[in-house]
Amino acid sequence: MAQISNANLQSVLDKMARWAAETNGDPLASNLSVYALTSPNAGFAVANTDVLAALQTLITGLTDPYQKADLLPPVVALNSGPPALGSLGHAFWAAVRAALDVHALRYNNLAAADRSGLDALLRVLNASAPTLRAHGKFAQYFGNLSPGNVFTPLCFTLATVTVTGATSANFVHVTALDTELYAAGQIKVLNTKTEGLTSTVLTFPNAVKSGAAHSITATITTTTNQYLTAFDDVELLFTDCPVTGATITGGVSGDTFSIVIVPDRTVNGA
């Protein structure tokens, strides 16, 4: 008897997030770029076709009989009578969500007062590093997760840069990541307009990583609009990027960039 593997749990969470987003026609980050968006066709029929059979196949394929005993019955019921009308509070999905809690409760060692099923399990996994967080759409529609267990579903803009010269730019701080909704994430530079840069270097000495100021640098060599460039620190621990002391070299006047937190992963192909 064992807890479902992290990989399989992630697959279940991502399939549920995809179903919720597609049912409502919510935009999702593209598999080709976590910035580019796809707009799924709204409706139960599309979401059911994309997700339900694959979810049942995943659970049926588990080799541990106790994992199947916890998770298979509500999934089979869901696939046998897929929702055609109603809200995301549909009893079938509520049963799957409850089964995740029941299964998670069996395998964590937290004190009784802090045992809250799936959320507690994810807190254990994420205690020392962001091992497995749920997609923001899962949290939005299936709920009851701590912010530290949820990643932003779309790119979140922290600051903008408008280049005025080789070593000058207008740096504007937009806002910090809302940590009452989402966990910290990886920070990147997004091209929003390029005029022919060759090698532009941006440095932010006061980016907020794990609650403390941390210097980060990105070297941007690709001119493609909407291209994402990683900073020299790729850990999923950033929440803000104040622009005090920010510098630029190799700038091309007219270029613009956004400094963003990116989703941990995409789910539109889950």
Domain parsing of the chain, residue ranges: 6-151, 156-262
Q: Which amino acid is at 268?
A: N
Whole-angstrom CA distances from 119 to 14, 76, 139 are 15, 24, 10
Give the tens place of pLDDT for each residue, 128-167. 999 999 999 999 999 889 999 999 999 999 999 999 999 9
Mean pLDDT of 31-35: 74
Average pLDDT over residues 176-195: 93
- Which range of 80-84, 118-122, 169-173 scores highest in mean pLDDT? It is 169-173
Distance CA 225, CA 17 (A): 28
Average pLDDT over all residues of the chain: 90
The SS3 of residue 257 is strand
Cα–Cα distance measured from residue 225 to residue 189, given in angstroms and rounded to the nearest whole number: 11
Q: What is the largest CA-CA distance in the chain?
A: 64
Give the least confident one: 19-28, 126-135, 170-179: 19-28
Distance from C-alpha of 181 to C-alpha of 186, rounded to nearest angstrom: 16
Is 112 a residue whose pLDDT tops 60? no
Dihedral, CA of residue 187, residue 190, residue 195 and residue 197, to nearest 10? 30
Specify the pairing of strand 150-151 against strand 256-262. Answer: unpaired
Structure tokens at 6: 């992290």
Nearest C-alpha neighbor of 17 from the set 122, 172, 151, 142 = 142
Q: Using pLDDT thresholds of 50, 70 and 90, give the confidence band for residue 89.
A: low
| Helix residue ranges per DSSP H, 106-263 | 118-125, 136-142
Q: Among 14-28, 95-109, 159-173, 216-230, which is the least confidently predicted range? A: 95-109
Q: pLDDT tens digits for 239-253?
A: 999 999 999 999 999
- Report the alpha-carbon distance of residue 178 to residue 140 in Å, rounded: 14
Helix (H, G, I), strand (E, B) or coil at 256: strand
Indicate the pTM of the whole model. 0.91
| pLDDT tens digit sequence for 43-78 | 788 888 889 999 999 999 999 999 999 999 999 988
pLDDT at 208: 98
How much is the pLDDT for 189? 96
